[in-house]
Amino acid sequence: MSKKLPHSSPIRNLTIFYTASLSAVAFLSIMGQLVVQRMLTQQQQNLEIVSLIEKRQTLCQQMIKHTMRMKLEPSRENRQELQQLIMAWKDSGEALNQAAENVEDFSQTQQRVLQQKISTIEPAGVEMREAASQMMQEGIREKRLGFSEPPIDVIKQSPIARLLKEEQTLMKGLDDISQWYNQEVIAGITQLKQMEYGLLGLMLFVLLLEGILVFRPAVMKIQDTLSQLKIALHESKVASQKLAIEKSQSEQLLLNILPQPIAQRLKQSQATSNINADILIADAFNDTTVMFADIVGFTDLSSRIPPQELVNLLNQIFSRFDLLAESYNLEKIKTIGDAYMVVGGLPSPRADHAIAIASMALEMIDAIAQFNLDTGENFQIRIGINSGSVVAGVIGLRKFIYDLWGDTVNIASRMESHGAPGLVHVTKDTYILLKNVFILEKRGLISVKGKGEMETYWLKGKINPA
């Protein structure tokens, strides 16, 4: 099967259109500047020709004036001035013709009209120059020969009459050219404004198209992206909250298994080491007190009642013990069957570890008695306590548990197993720590498995109960 060619993305199309529109605007701006420059050049040429026309009109008036003066006073100075004016008149006519021929930006129609108007006044200009020259020569002869005024009919055919006639024709033609140029200038200015407005309108139209075809879809795309981002952020926030809740629950579960300092060290150890590496957290504590509690007759009880009911009873009893351990800020280590193990003095050392354990032990006796009253059962517990040094920590790879090791732990277990129902059995080491606060009764020497004979005591109560 042939694969379909992927369509160009909308963003790519918008980018192409945006680039093309900007290029069009730049092209139009350049073309507009060229047209404006061309029109300004044309207007400059128009002004130059108008200036030549005005200069020619001024020269025409001066030639009439000096010709009449030459007639009245044919002096050498007047003749020289008139001769200079005739030369200037000739030069201005040539300059006007040359300027008209050199107009580059006129249309063919405009050039044709201009040439026609100039050709109309050109004979009058030549005739006027010749009449002025003839007038200058006649004035010289009359001065030399002393002629009187000629008759009126002769004057009509004289150079003065010709001069005045051609002056009238010439001034009319120059006025006509000047007026025509003024109209062309006004038309050029109007065309320039139209070009400016047209270019501005075209640029606004292109910008409007950009807004409709480029910016509006881009803004909509941005809004859609922001909406999606908002949804994603909300989902991320919800997921983060769920993750935080799950993390909190996981940490709480971890804290229910391990002490808080140990849990923190375990997380740091797993974060910085291989997940499959052996975990070893082992700390030595010299001043601790360990307590074991065991339910009397539990084995016989388990054979008489269903397991579910048995577990339910154990849960109620151990839950009360947990509350006591929490109230005394002691560390519950574990339960093994019907045995309950708790320690004082770790993971955070404390000076009253033995006192706290002893106080909890006495309240555990009271808690069992209250439980029997509440449930109608007849449970009893044996409790054994020993004080000394231990090693506490976490070992292994899976199913971590905070545990204790050492001879102090073993002796505490022996105190429980060699104890009596409803009593708290303690070693001499624990007695030394408690004797100033609690009432203790000497039991005497007993034979302890693996330790031989040991002197032990019964914990009876506090000396000054609160």
**Catalytic residue positions, numbered:** 294-295, 338
Residue 357 makes CB contacts below 8 A (sequence gap 6+) with 289, 290, 291, 328, 330, 342, 343, 344, 385
Determine the Cα–Cα distance for residues 267 and 255; give it in Å rounded to an integer: 12
What's at 68, amino acid-wise?
M
Give the type of residue at 145.
L
Tokens of 1: 């099967």
| Cβ neighbours, 10 Å, residue 188 | 16
Q: Could you tell me how many residues make up the chain?
A: 466
Exposure of 234 in the CB half-sphere (CA atoms within 13 A):
6
CA angle 242, 243, 246 (to 5 degrees): 85
Fill in the amino acid letter for 321.
F
Strand partners, 290: 343, 386
Residue whose tokens read 């006025």:
175
The strand pair at 424-427 and 381-396 is best described as parallel
For the record, the structure tokens of 127 come out as: 């005739």
- Name the CA dihedral angle for 90, 91, 96, 99, rounded to a multiple of 10 degrees: 150
Tell me which residue of 291, 316, 288 sits closest to 373, measured CA to CA.
Answer: 316
